[in-house]
């Protein structure tokens, strides 16, 4: 389900002419003007914030989290987010559930009972520290920004401030009126797990079960076989897997 520690390449390097202040100013300006940046915030944004990966999740109407942006676009952040979505356990989900900031500067020191499914799987990745910032609109939680790092240690005061400012600006981008199906063209955000939702709908129709039950079966199958959920969904949609294998009565 997760790649081995050595399989992760480091994120793109930030421009030598840029810095956290310039990057944050661009995102804030895009949100203030009601226009997306036209492409995901510059590659290397995580590095500018002193992190190795950053993810942005939107809370959907059904309560599930939808991954809309990550930097780097592939690798550690996206994989750890998918891992949490598959297992239903982890720091991003906890932050969404309770709406609180979460700082774990050393994941190896976290109580195993806190994330009993996530921690053993994450131990096979380079993850060593994680920081979450819930995005709120009044009392309502609309998303979660999560930062990941491959070295332990707390954020510096400057990094804390920059992550907070990024969370506020991205919250404004989430509030732009746009169709999620075409969000990439307007804001640089995109629906990362579209194929999982397509596979869930397909499986629900084939097995005559609810969408919730279909997704539960997909997640259980992926977790039991240590397989990334998007890969499993793609195999089902391309008919490399039969829907019958998800039916316990067959």
Query: Check: CATH 3.30.450.40 for 5-187?
Result: yes
pLDDT tens-digit series, residues 139-190: 888 899 999 999 999 999 999 999 988 888 877 766 654 444 444 444 455 6
**What is residue 6's predicted lDDT score, i.e. its pLDDT?**
57
Q: How far apart are CA 74 and CA 32, in angstroms?
A: 28
At residue 250 the predicted structure's pLDDT band, cuts being 50, 70 and 90, is low
Question: Mean pLDDT across the chain, nearest whole number?
Answer: 78
Average pLDDT estimate for 211-218? 81
Domain ranges of the chain: 5-187, 194-246
CB atoms within 10 A of CB 159: 18
Least confident of 8-17, 213-222, 241-250: 8-17
pLDDT tens-digit series, residues 62-110: 778 888 888 898 899 999 999 999 999 999 999 999 999 999 999 999 9
At residue 111 the predicted structure's pLDDT band, cuts being 50, 70 and 90, is very high
| Whether the predicted pLDDT of 240 surpasses 50 | yes
| Whether the predicted pLDDT of 21 surpasses 60 | no
Q: How far apart are CA 9 and CA 248, in angstroms?
A: 39
**What is residue 52's predicted lDDT score, i.e. its pLDDT?**
96
| Interacting residues of 160 by C-beta distance below 8 A, sequence separation 6+ | none
Angular region, 83: left φ>0, alpha ψ -120 to 50, beta rest: alpha
- Nearest one of 39, 10, 28 to 148, comparing CA atoms: 10
**Between 45 and 76, whose confidence is greater?**
76
**What is residue 238's predicted lDDT score, i.e. its pLDDT?**
84
**What is residue 3's predicted lDDT score, i.e. its pLDDT?**
58
In this prediction the pTM is 0.70
**What is residue 125's predicted lDDT score, i.e. its pLDDT?**
94
């Amino acid at each position: 389900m997760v790649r081995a520690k050595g399989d992760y390449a480091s994120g793109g390097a930030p421009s030598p002419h840029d810095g956290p202040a310039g990057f944050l100013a661009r995102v804030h300006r895009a949100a203030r003007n009601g226009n997306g940046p036209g492409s995901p915030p510059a590659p290397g944004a995580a590095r500018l914030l002193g992190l190795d990966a950053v993810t942005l999740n939107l809370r959907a109407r059904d309560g599930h989290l939808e991954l809309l942006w990550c930097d780097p676009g592939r690798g550690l952040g996206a994989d750890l987010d998918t891992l949490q979505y598959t297992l239903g356990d982890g720091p991003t989900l906890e932050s969404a559930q309770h709406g609180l900031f979460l700082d774990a500067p050393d994941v190896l020191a976290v109580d195993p009972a806190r994330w009993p499914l996530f921690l053993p799987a994450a131990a096979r990745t380079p993850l060593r520290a994680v920081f979450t910032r819930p995005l709120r609109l009044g009392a309502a939680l609309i998303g979660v920004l999560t930062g990941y790092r491959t070295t332990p240690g707390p954020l510096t005061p400057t990094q804390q401030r920059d992550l907070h400012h990024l969370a506020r600006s991205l919250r404004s981008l989430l509030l732009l009126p746009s169709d999620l199906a075409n969000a990439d063209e307007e804001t640089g955000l995109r629906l990362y797990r579209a194929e999982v939702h397509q596979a869930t709908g397909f499986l629900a129709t084939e097995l005559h079960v609810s969408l919730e039950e279909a997704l539960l079966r997909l997640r259980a199958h992926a977790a039991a076989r240590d397989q990334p959920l998007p890969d499993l969904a793609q195999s089902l949609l391309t008919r490399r897997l039969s829907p019958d294998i998800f039916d316990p009565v067959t």
